[in-house]
A and B are shown apart, each in its own frame.
Chain A
């Protein structure tokens, strides 16, 4: 039997090797894992304490003041929703485009999506003065006979983010069924066997199951693609539907979607680089993957930068005094530093990715993506805070400073996200086993040339 090598994963030999390598991730973790988990839980504890203090003592514990009613919480909400987007891009959009390099990274990216939406979803609730009545947001039958205002962008957000959480979690768990079955068949640990038996739904990998599964996966991808575009558009309309200067523009939806994918892809790279190192997955996350992702970061980064410039141009061209004032204030006012962090991290630093050397240099790429993450948080901060602090009437102008409670909760959100991700790495297969096999050459009895003569249709997976 001959054994060809895949072009995308040249160091992966056989199907069995994929199972062994991926399932090895689920083995007993090393000390560094527990140290990391402890740090994460401590930070999460600090964040939880900060929130508790806000719940007990009131929203005044945050730095929110009139007129800046939206601050670090909403900034972080938009940030995490944005982070979520690239997971769906990689798992659904690149699936529809038949991008052959997505197979090994999409599971981690998808997990990131689910946990990022899970994190984002907390912030509108944290932001509420009375978080225990958060369910007022939902349209549920009640004895008062009143319903939410369906004309409000904030309610659209409930539908968009709720749908996104449900669909991305469904897509994530459903796509994992065959891999969980592989984990079920490969483990001897009793609790794992029980868990995987339940989550695999009795999957056997029959041709019939695969036939329906492939179709269901395709349709879910087709549904998730417009969803990913709609969610951040709806989030952007939280701002754009109002008349606040700096917010009320039609460019917001595409600008936010591009920014979301930009930040999300950067976050995928930030997460995958250490995982690859710690778990020795060099054969699965190759420089080719990083190169492809870096190119996407570059493209979306250019769209974002173009949108920044367009905003400035439109402020000048519109001849609107408040609009002009807000943009002059952004670059030279009290928050000039935030604006310049945003412009430098999102506009200038990603330009380094034009160089192929930088794109395939993993430490350099890692550093750039951290800058992008920082820059994208500040982008939302700039949009939200500078506009609210500097609205139409000068007597209303007032600056906002995040309080320690807000900073602790924002830090805690990173810990919350990291906690889910760390647990995921040890419980569920972090690389798709079945899909990797689709891009590996199938084991054949006869040589490929012989097969081509007799069958034609059997051969290595297309495109490799």
Chain B
């Protein structure tokens, strides 16, 4: 990866529409290995990249269902191991379990959503495998392309025409936090 990153071309943009236009042009030129940096989640960028549905929702669903099942199974099992009648209620008191199950649905669902995010977005990242600029968390957008050999000039032209404020070539990887 580091060898490829060394050949990366990074366009830095001040304007959102310049960035989206560049992405669309790069895509129509057949360049698919595009990484986009932005200071906030932008639907425009997402549309331009034609990104698919995030798999996080599967994690939420599975976590929630596991929580619900645990919320019924665990009190049932625990009450059966020492069957002690309280308040004249059945040992397995489903209405009371509903509350435990409700809370555990949310607890397990939330925790597995977080796990889903970390797995899908490949966090935590000790190293940034591509270039990063501190202004990407402030007010600028970045487009990183890893062009196949011989197409570097074409990428540079598309970025310049797209309105890049700055173009950096032969970008190196850096470690997050040591910028």
Contact = CB atoms under 8 A, between A and B. Distances in A.
Contacts of A224: 106, 110
Interface in A140-158: 145-152, 156
Nearest to B18: A445
Interface string A167-187: 100110010011001101110
B139 to A, nearest CB: 4
A461 to B, nearest CB: 9
B50 to A, nearest CB: 11
A170 B111 contact: yes
Contacts of B49: 207
Contacts of B138: 15-16, 19, 182, 185-186
Instruction: Bin chain A's interface residue count.
Output: 35 or more
Nearest to A174: B114
Instruction: Bin chain B's interface residue count.
Output: 35 or more
B132 A204 contact: yes
Interface string B94-136: 0011011011101101110110111011011111100010111
A28 interface: no
Interface stretch (B2-10, B31-39, B149-157): B31-39
Contacts of B69: none
B139 A15 contact: yes
Contacts of A159: 99-100, 103-104
B99 to A, nearest CB: 5
Interface in A196-212: 196-197, 200-212
A147 B134 contact: no
B109 A223 contact: yes
B106 A182 contact: no
A435 interface: yes
Given A167-B107, A197-B177, A206-B36, A230 B102 contact: yes
A147 B128 contact: no
B145 to A, nearest CB: 13
Interface in B18-48: 18, 20, 35-47
Contacts of B100: 150, 156, 159
A5 interface: no
B97 A150 contact: yes
B136 A149 contact: no
Contacts of B109: 219, 223
Tell me whether chain B's interface is mostly helix, strand or loop, or mixed. helix
A309 interface: no
Contact of B54 (A174, A211, A230, A234): A211
Interface stretch (A264-272, A368-376, A436-444): A436-444
A216 B57 CA distance: 8
Nearest to A451: B17
A160 interface: yes
Contact of A156 (B78, B99, B125): B99
Given A209-B123, A212-B121, A216-B117, A147 B99 contact: no
Nearest to A161: B103
Contacts of B38: 205, 207, 210
Contacts of B125: 201-204
A147 B132 CA distance: 52
Contacts of A457: 43-44, 47
B52 to A, nearest CB: 9
B138 to A, nearest CB: 4
A14 interface: yes
Nearest to B91: A151
Given A201-B124, A207-B35, A443-B14, A19 B137 contact: yes
Contact of A204 (B41, B43, B176): B176
A450 B78 CA distance: 67
B17 A444 contact: yes
Nearest to A202: B125
A458 interface: yes
B110 A167 contact: yes
Nearest to A149: B86
Nearest to B97: A150
A98 interface: no
Contacts of B107: 162-163, 166-167
A442 B79 CA distance: 58
A185 B179 contact: yes
A147 B79 contact: yes
Contacts of A152: 86
17 contacts: A1-B14, A139-B74, A170-B111, A177-B123, A178-B40, A178-B137, A184-B137, A193-B177, A202-B124, A204-B132, A207-B35, A208-B121, A210-B42, A434-B39, A444-B15, A446-B17, A458-B44
Interface of A: 1, 14-16, 19, 139, 145-152, 156, 159-160, 162-163, 166-167, 170-171, 174, 177-178, 181-182, 184-186, 193-194, 196-197, 200-216, 219-220, 223-224, 226-227, 230, 234, 433-435, 437-438, 442-446, 451, 455, 457-458
Given A159-B104, A170-B110, A215-B57, 15 more contacts: A145-B81, A150-B93, A151-B86, A159-B103, A185-B134, A185-B179, A197-B176, A202-B176, A205-B136, A223-B106, A230-B102, A234-B103, A433-B39, A442-B16, A458-B16
Kindly list the 6 A-B residue pairs having the minimum CB-CB distance in the complex, ordered from nearest: A202-B125, A197-B177, A185-B134, A15-B139, A201-B124, A216-B117
